[in-house]
Structures are given as C-alpha cells and as structure tokens.
Amino acid sequence: MSGESDGKRRAVAQGTFDLIHPGHVHYLREAAATANELHVIVARSSNVSHKADPVLSARQRRDVVGAIDAVDEAHLGHESDIFVPIERIDPDVIVLGYDQHHDEAALSAALADRGIDCEIDRAGPRDPKYEEELLSTGKIVDRVLERRG
C-alpha cells in the first residue's frame, strides 16, 4: 500500500547530508516537488561506507535536514537494514540525488524483493550560481583545511 491511498503522495529522499550546502537544498526541493509530503532518511555514520566519515553526528545532520522548509519529516536510517524506514514511510517515489552512487536497477530489484512498490526518480544537478560556490561536502572540508588547517 502506498501513500496515495490516504490522498497524499509521499516521496523519500536519502543521503548523508554532512555539512549542508546548496546542492543538498536543491536536491530536497526537487524531491519535494514530486509529492505532497517529503520524508528524508539521514544515513547513520556507521552506514556511510562510500566516502569519508561524516563530520557531524547523525542526529545533528537529521535535525538540520528537518529544519529545511521542503522537508516534512527527517528520519535516522536504520542501523543495519536500510529498507526498514522505507517500509515504515511507504513512499510512492524514492528520489535519488543526481550524483548518488545508487544503481537504480539494483535498488528497484531490492525494493521488489521486499514487496515495496514505488517509483525511483533522480534529481537533476544544480550548477554553481557563482565561481566560489561549493556544492560538495568534501570540497567544503578541503577549503576549511586549506584556510584554517
């Protein structure tokens, strides 16, 4: 059963969201535009294996994401099973960030195996608005180290 059965189309966005930057806000606004309600799953630090460990705690990252106007509710990811919050939220669409590492076909198959019936969409990129604008947490960290390290 999807969110549309209660009259609301639900979207899920997910990610690490470490050191929020304009690229994150762009992603969340695009995800929110696909539905009436946007739920965001913030990865726990222990589940971040594809890049450097987050600078901020999972709870702090969740609280900051939850403060963004486009977000209706921010959730912490599950410690061991990334599909648990998706099952609980029951989305109509999962919106991936344009540069997230997820394989859409593999994700679709895993959702089907779990009996989760929802679309998968991908947000578009956000081009920098000016030369020095940073749209990457890694680049923000590099700049901090360069200027203050």
Res 77 pLDDT > 60: yes
Q: What is the CATH number of the domain that holds 103?
A: 3.40.50.620
pLDDT (0 to 100) of residue 101: 85
pLDDT (0 to 100) of residue 52: 81
Q: What is the DSSP string of 40-77?
A: EEEPPGGG--SSSPPSS-HHHHHHHHHTSTT-SEEEEP
Res 1 pLDDT > 50: no
Domain that holds residue 45: 3-148
What confidence tens digit (pLDDT) does each residue in 99-134 have?
Answer: 888 899 999 999 999 999 999 999 999 988 999 899
Domain count, the chain: 1
Q: What are the E-state strand segments in 51-97?
A: 73-76, 93-96
Res 64 pLDDT > 60: yes
Res 5 pLDDT > 80: no
What confidence tens digit (pLDDT) does each residue in 6-57 have?
Answer: 678 999 999 999 999 999 999 999 999 999 999 999 999 878 877 788 999 9
pLDDT (0 to 100) of residue 14: 96
CA distances (Å), origin 20, targets 46, 78, 100: 19, 21, 15
Annotated binding site, which residues? 16-17, 21-24, 99
Annotated binding site for ATP, which residues? 16-17, 21-24, 99
Q: Give the pLDDT mean for 71-96.
A: 96
Burial (CB < 10 A; 0-12, 13-18, 19+), residue 1, is exposed
